[in-house]
Structure 1
Amino acid sequence: MQIFRTNESAVSPVIGVMLMLVVTVILAAAVSGFSGGLVGDTSKASQMAIKADFSQSKGMTITHMGGDTINTLDTAIIVSPTSDFGSYDQMKWEVNGSAVYINKDGTARKWYDPATSSSSLAKTFLPGENAYIAAADLEEVQPETYYRGSTTASEVDALNPFYGFLYAGTETLYPVTPIGQRFVLSLVDSDGKTIAKTEVVIQP
């Protein structure tokens, strides 16, 4: 009876190579899943183009020129003076959202106001829409920075009149007017990311 012997000397290397391939595939899948999770958790900031006009006598208008639809409940309007105002030390103000309105189906709705029911708020800022502040409410562009000395005195910036966008320049102590000077208006989301930014020239 003839006995055949099989040569098993190559079995171990083959098994080793297969095991390495399996481990490599498992590691690749794990890394891919982890990376995918990281990418999924990183939200893309909304982006849009805006144009803004500021007139001491007519009010302020912000026009959505195109881009993403903005959730007004999660978006702040920030203004800060440019170097036109001199040494401004990175000063900035959050515009009072309850003074900002957007027309929705013929109804003026507030940008945001915690005291107003959600159904009465604008909620969205769409391409082609205008958000506006009436001239009588322009002090809300720089809230809590103005004071009125008397019923006849014009409003000036309480920190320094030279930073006030409304300052009339008629007071004897501060005979300077911001007409023609610029400030930066930005829309910022709840994560602090800038959605849009534009320079605004102060008009009479």
Structure 2
Amino acid sequence: MKLKQLFTDDSAVSPVIGVILMVAITVILAAVIGTFVLNLGGSVSQTTPQASFGFDFEDASNDNVTITHETGDTIDASRLNLTATKDVDVATDKNLVGISTETTSSSEGFTDSGGFGSSASVSAGSTLYAGGNGDLSGQTFRVVWNSENNENSATLSEYTAPNN
């Protein structure tokens, strides 16, 4: 037996490397197909918009809160909700807050009665008024964004009215 020939013989290396490469390619291909089948990357495209909303509290016989989109992304109004710890009425006209005969809800959509139209966009300068249901002192208001498939949501802004 020639010891030198044993260490220099590499005839079996090529098939071993080939098998390792085939296994690696199969694993990577299975991972990619699995990702598409399970839709793991589907929600990546639904990123939370970056927007800043300002709140202005008006203390009156029927308190009102003015919500104004100050800066950031333009958002489809149907994706936004205004939640409050007390029932409120929403309107795009301050004079119409609390006038409707409908029952108010502590979770009003920006497109609900009195809000923006369902095809509207909320951009910088857009204003919504909430109130019409008595004293709002100490109540918390949140502007909440919901993804298109309603799997994700995020609070874009939060405000607590001062206690009087």
Smaller-chain TM-score range? 0.5 to 0.7
* 2:132 counterpart residue number: 138
Q: 1:22-101, aligned counterparts within 5 Å?
A: 22-32=22-32, 34=34, 37-42=39-44, 43-57=46-60, 59-79=64-84, 92-93=85-86, 95-96=88-89, 99-101=90-92
Hey, what's the Cα distance between the residues in 2 that align with 1:17 and 1:38? Answer: 32
Identity of aligned residues (%): 16
Matches within 5 A, 1:1-204: 10-32=10-32, 34=34, 37-42=39-44, 43-57=46-60, 59-79=64-84, 92-93=85-86, 95-96=88-89, 99-101=90-92, 111-113=110-112, 120-121=117-118, 123-133=120-130, 138-139=132-133, 155=134, 164-165=135-136, 178=137, 182-190=138-146, 191=150, 193-202=153-162
> Could you say which residue in structure 1 is the equivalent of 2:96?
none
Name the CA shift for 1:67/1:126 in 2 (closer, same or farther; >3 Å). Answer: same
TM-score by length of 1: 0.50
Q: CA deviation at 1:28?
A: 2.3
Following superposition, the deviation at residue 32 of structure 1 comes to: 4.5
Q: Is the 8 A contact 2:86 2:139 kept in 1?
A: no
Gapped regions of structure 2 (runs ≥ 5): 1-8, 94-108
C-alpha contact (below 8 Å) 2:91/2:128 kept by paired residues: yes
What per-residue deviation string (whole Å, max 9, x for no partner) do you get for residues 127-146 of structure 1? 2222224xxx522xxxxxxx
TM-score, scaled to structure 2: 0.59
Structure 1 residues 26 and 188, CA, compared in 2 at 3 Å: closer, same or farther?
same
Cα drift, residue 93 of structure 1:
4.3
1:5-39 Cα distance to aligned partner (Å, 9 max, x none): xxxx7544311211211221231243255457523
CA distance in structure 2 between the aligned counterparts of 1:94 and 1:187, rounded to whole angstroms: 15
Q: Aligned-pair distance for 1:123?
A: 2.3
**Alpha carbons of 1:95 and 1:38: their partners in 2 closer, same or farther (altered >3 Å)?**
farther
Alpha-carbon distance in 2 for matches of 1:113, 1:198: 20
CA distance in 1, matches of 2:128, 2:140: 16
| Contact in 1 for aligned 2:91/2:114 (Cα 8 Å) | no
Over residues 173-195 of structure 1, what are the superposed CA-to-partner deviations in whole Å (9 max), with x where a residue is unaligned?
xxxxx4xxx43321113346223
Structure 2 Cα separation of the partners of residues 123 and 64 of structure 1: 14
**Residue type matched to 2:129 in 1?**
Y
Q: Structure 1: which 5+ residue stretches go unaligned?
A: 1-8, 80-91, 103-109, 140-154, 156-163, 166-177
